Each structure stands twice: as structure tokens, then as C-alpha cells.
Structure 1
């Protein structure tokens, strides 16, 4: 009996010590040539984008180890870079997209470190255009960069229902350059609020479609980028969206309310509605209309159309068109990281190539 118990213990210890593990290298390289007119300094722009094409370029390392009993340990290190120059994006961080580790099980996933927060997860299904050169990033550059430093996150999926949340002790330690770098590292002794952030999400997904809602609150801090320069300053976003699948396509739309309470108060609403459709397994089309209203100041409308040709499982050719209609006081550029003359309408186009590995 003692021998059998000893053998069982030895086998159990051996399984724990030699759990199945893997590490993989992955990434996307995406770039092309873009054009837009009515640039802020006059004339037109022709060149290569610095922030994104159809999606931002990146590479990463992802690893996991089976711990037994349905538990797995994992890590993700993900870099974002500008394909036109090789420069680091995300405030010059080596792993600016993600740098985290955690534990996953049937009860959900617990993640520690720099990670995507719920303001990004909530848009994944309903926003058919995503973080493209012509997208909602023209109105709110945070949305395609919704990540938090120094964060503890949870995400659980149960019979179609997804619940999640993050809490950051210091939401953004890099800065001030770049749309996702705000120089608000937080974690200051004696300041229990400065640069903190929390996000939460509730979603439901099924074979026919789904809906989701999220809430995001970030606090300012000493030395942070304007307008959140004090612990008393806040930036809040509520996102509600949904999508419906049909045949070879999908329709998605939603509403984003943003309230910034700092030296001056600002409130905005962003409405979006779009669809994608696979004409064949190798040809797909996307279209989206977005309406942005900055209360008591300005408004803009963005129309986007995109076509994809999948040469192979890894390589895609695409073309994207965008047209921005600005009110007299609006200066929202049609292209991510672009410029526009205040009050001018703007046309933008890009042809690009993307390869995944």
C-alpha cells in the first residue's frame, strides 16, 4: 500500500514538473502608401503611415504551460513598431502593446502587467473597421490603444456571457510622445488616486450576434499630459455596442459617450454603424459611417470603405478610402496621425499589403 501511494505521489510530482509548455513567435507587418488632401499646412500628403495601415504592425512572444487540473500559466510580450522606419510605437516602449503574465482556467483568466483593458475588448466584435488608417481613431486616439500599465485584470466567459474588469495602479508610465503615452505612471506614496484607472465590461455572444457594454474611468496625476494634470481630473467613457451576423457578413454598431472633467469640461458622443461581407473566401468588403459630436463646439462625419484580397492565409492586399466632413470649428483628420485644415472636408486613400506570421 505504501509503495502504491509513493508511486502515485511520484507520478503526480513528475506531471507537475514536466507539464506541457510552448512558446510561439507571432506578428503582423502592415504598410503601404497613403494620400490625403487639405493638410493642416496646405496642400496634400503622400507617404507611408507611421501608426497603422489596416492594423498596426507588431511582433510578440506568447507562452503557456499546463499546470494540471485545468490551470495554465501564460505570458505575452508584444511589441508595436512603425513599418516605415522601424521605430518603436506606444511611447517608445519595447513591449508597448502587451507585457503581462497570468493564470487561466475554466473560472476565467487573471492577468498582471500591461494589458488590453475592457474598452478594447468591448469593441472587438461590433467595430468592423478596427484600428485602421481610416477609423474611429480619428476622433479618439485612445480607443485603438486602450491598454493599462501596472494592471490587474480578469476576464471570464460562461455560456456566452463574458464578464471582465481591470484595475491599474498607474495607467501609463510612458510619455509624452504618441497617442497612447500620457506620462501618468502613478503608484505614488500618499496618493491613492493619482493615475489610477478601472474598466469593466459585460457582454453576450451567440451564433447570431451579440451585445456588450463597458465603463472606463481614468484619473490624472502630477506631471501627466494635459488635460489630466491633477488627481482630481477624470476621463470617463461609456461604450454600448452590438452586432448581428448574416450569411457571409456582419453588421455592427454602437455609441461611445466621453466625459472629461478637468480645467475645462468636455463631453462628446461617437456613433458608428458598419458592415462587412465576404464576396468570396478571398475577397471581403468593409464599410462604416461614424458621427462625432463635441458638445457646444463642433461635429464631424467620417465615411469609410475598404476592400481586402487574401492572396494566401498570411498575405493580404487591401485598399481603404475615407472621407471626413468637418463643421466650421472641427479639425478631425481622415487618417490616423494625419493633419487637416480646421473646418475643411478631407479625402484620404491608402493601398497596402499585410503579412502575418
Structure 2
């Protein structure tokens, strides 16, 4: 009897080991904190602690279960947080960075939930901000989402496997509005290529009712104090919150030459049918009809001196075209930065970004500098930030 029980326990143990080997759940995360100097925050110089400088702080769980036949069930739950204050990021969403479940196989993968659109997924790596230049180096107001600050709720996304270096991703965000199938919907498609020294991609996003479907997907955007998420974003773009549609077309790539990497990104963002969206504070200038156009070009250069040390420089230029007859705003931006790896998981960084604004912005006033992710704008057409920080991955 004892022998039989021992055999049974051994067999159950082997099954348990096999199930464990076929399924996995991984805890991961990143903490980024630094000391920031802002030359002009509403007319005053500011020195403060700042978090999520290079990339957003996060902790998450990701899992995979082998279903047999080449299929796997997958999921990701990813939380964003402010390490300076210990509060939740993404407007208070518990898993505001990502939250999805899906199926993966030889065909690629299909996922459902709160997700990044394919433009952010594929093209953010070509803009200098995400890899090394900091969130403050994002394109003005991150209006083209190349810094991946916006997520889509109710999203169904497909990503293909790689084929000779090419891959495809497509997404549709179901709006969920009663009696309006297209209301609050978002769709996006992207194609990417990685081969040898060249990596490049193109992508498109179309968001219906962007104030709610694209800019207003965080819990805080639905509160009484923030009835217009896009309107609260930045004077660079806030005056066009009443637009019916936001359309983004972008392309970019990098090319490696020895230890150097050259980068180029271009984007065209259009807020169309301005004045069509109803809501308190959505149309402060009373514009009805037409579209506002934002065209951005970015050039970057990154050089790796040693396996542990790299430095880079990036320049961006954004022009705008308003639906009314007036001078249009222009934004010039320059970033320099360096990063040093203390280990595979910990690095030190130093980054500085300068922006100069001119013309008339979306609010109909003289354009002021407004670097992305600062939470405050300059009182004049110039603004600069410098940050020294540390980042740790786990």
C-alpha cells in the first residue's frame, strides 16, 4: 500500500511539474525617479523630484498557458504609478497601462482589453523620446501618440508573426455607444520591418470623438472637474477639443552604422470637423468646420561609446495650420541626453530639452512653450528642462 501511494504521489508530482512547465506567470516592473529643473513653470523656476522621466513607472503580471496544438492563452495586467507620491498613474486606473487577455499561435496573436494602438506599439521606438530622450522630448502635447501616452479601451487587436522581417498589427476599439456604432471608436493599422541595420515602419490611427475615445480613456477624464480631456491636455492642441475625428499618419525608422544610429520620424495629425463635438468647454474659440493640421519631423543621432555608455541628440520641428485666418504656431525642440548602465537592470541618465514656440496657438493666443508631460506651461515662448535620474528594472 505504501509503495502504491508513493508511486501515485510521484506521478501526481510529475504531472504538476509538467503543468508548471507549460504555464507561467511573471512579475515584472520598472522604477524611474530623478531630480528635475524647469526654467519656466507659469513664470517661475522650479526644482523638484520627478518620476517616469525616461519611461513610465510600472509593475505588471504577464502569463502564458499552453493549450496544445500550438495555441497559448496569454494575458497582461500592467499598473502605472507615481513613485514620488505612491499614487496610481493613468488617472487612477488600477491597470491603466495595459490590461488584456488573448490567444497566441502560429497565426500571431489576438488580444482583447485596454491596449496600445499599433502606431504607438510599432513607431514609438523610432522617436527619440521613448528609447532615451525622456518623456519631455515627446512631440508637442504628444499629439501623434509617438510617446505612447494614450491607450484604447474596449480594443480588439491582431498582431501577425514576423515574415522575412515584416510584421503587421491592426486594432479596432469598440466605442460602446448606444445607438451609434461608430461613436467613440478607434481603429489603427501599422506595418513594421526589421532587417540588418535598417528598421522602419508606417502606421495610421483614426479616432472618432477623440476627446473621449483617444484622450479621455482614464478614470479622471470622466470626472466633473475634467469634462474635456483633450481641452486639458495643452494649449498646443486644446482649442480643437470639439473635433469630430482625429487622424494620425506617421512613418519612421532607424539605421545603424557601427556604434551610431540615425533616426527619422515624420507625422501628420489632423483634428477634423471642429465644432461638431458637443460638451462643456469643448469649443472655447467657437470654430465651426474645417480641420487643424500638425506636421512634425524629427531627426536623431545616438552613439554608443561603450556597451555601458551612450549619448544622443534629437531635433524636432512642428508646424500647424489653423482652420481660421491667422498666424499659425511653430514649435522647435532640441534634446541632448546620456545614459550609463551600472548593471543590466540599473542605469543613470542625464537629459535636457529646450522648446521654442512662435505664432498663435490653438487657443487663439500667442503661443507659449509647453513641453510634454510637465503638467505646466511656460509664460513665454521658451522653456527648458534638465533631469538627472536613476532607473531600475525588476
The question of a shared fold, defined as TM-score above 0.5 by the shorter chain, is answered with yes
Partner of residue 177, structure 1: none
Q: Within 2, Cα distance between the matches of 1:250 and 1:226?
A: 34
Partner of residue 39, structure 2: 37
CA drift of 1:338 comes to 4.0
Contact 2:346 2:391 in 1 (8 A): yes
Partner of residue 88, structure 1: 88
Contact 1:129 1:286 in 2 (8 A): no
Contact 2:30 2:392 in 1 (8 A): yes
Partner of residue 299, structure 2: 273
Partner of residue 188, structure 1: 177
Q: Could you give the per-residue CA deviations for residues 178-227 of structure 1, whole angstroms, max 9, x where no partner exists? A: xxxxxxxxx12211121100000112210111221111011118876456
Secondary structure of 1:348 counterpart: strand
- Aligned CA RMSD, in angstroms, stands at 2.3
Secondary structure of 1:130 counterpart: helix
CA drift of 1:341 comes to 3.0
Q: Within 1, Cα distance between the matches of 2:195 and 2:116?
A: 23
CA drift of 1:75 comes to 0.4
Give 2:155's match in structure 1, choosing from 151, 154, 163. Answer: 151
Q: Within 2, Cα distance between the matches of 1:348 and 1:136?
A: 13
Secondary structure of 2:90 counterpart: coil
1:210 counterpart = 2:199 = yes
Q: TM-score, normalized by length of structure 1?
A: 0.84
CA drift of 1:355 comes to 0.3
1:160 counterpart = 2:197 = no
CA drift of 1:288 comes to 0.9
Partner of residue 344, structure 2: 313
Contact 2:266 2:296 in 1 (8 A): yes
CA drift of 1:249 comes to 2.9
Contact 1:38 1:344 in 2 (8 A): no
Q: What are the within-5 Å matches in structure 2 for residues 1-357 of structure 1? A: 18=19, 20-40=22-42, 42-49=43-50, 52-130=52-130, 132-140=134-142, 142-143=145-146, 144-156=148-160, 157-170=162-175, 187-220=176-209, 225-226=229-230, 233-261=244-272, 262-263=274-275, 264=287, 265-296=291-322, 297-328=328-359, 329-334=366-371, 336-357=373-394
Structure richer in helix, relative to its length: 2
Q: Which moved more, 1:52-61 or 1:119-128?
A: 119-128
Q: Within 1, Cα distance between the matches of 2:346 and 2:34?
A: 13
**What residue ranges of structure 2 are gaps of 5+ in the alignment?**
1-14, 213-226, 232-239, 276-286, 323-327, 360-365
Aligned length: 324
Q: TM-score, normalized by length of structure 2?
A: 0.77
Contact 1:272 1:291 in 2 (8 A): yes
Q: Within 1, Cα distance between the matches of 2:137 and 2:230?
A: 24
Q: Within 2, Cα distance between the matches of 1:204 and 1:309?
A: 29
CA drift of 1:333 comes to 2.3
Q: Within 1, Cα distance between the matches of 2:33 and 2:344?
A: 18
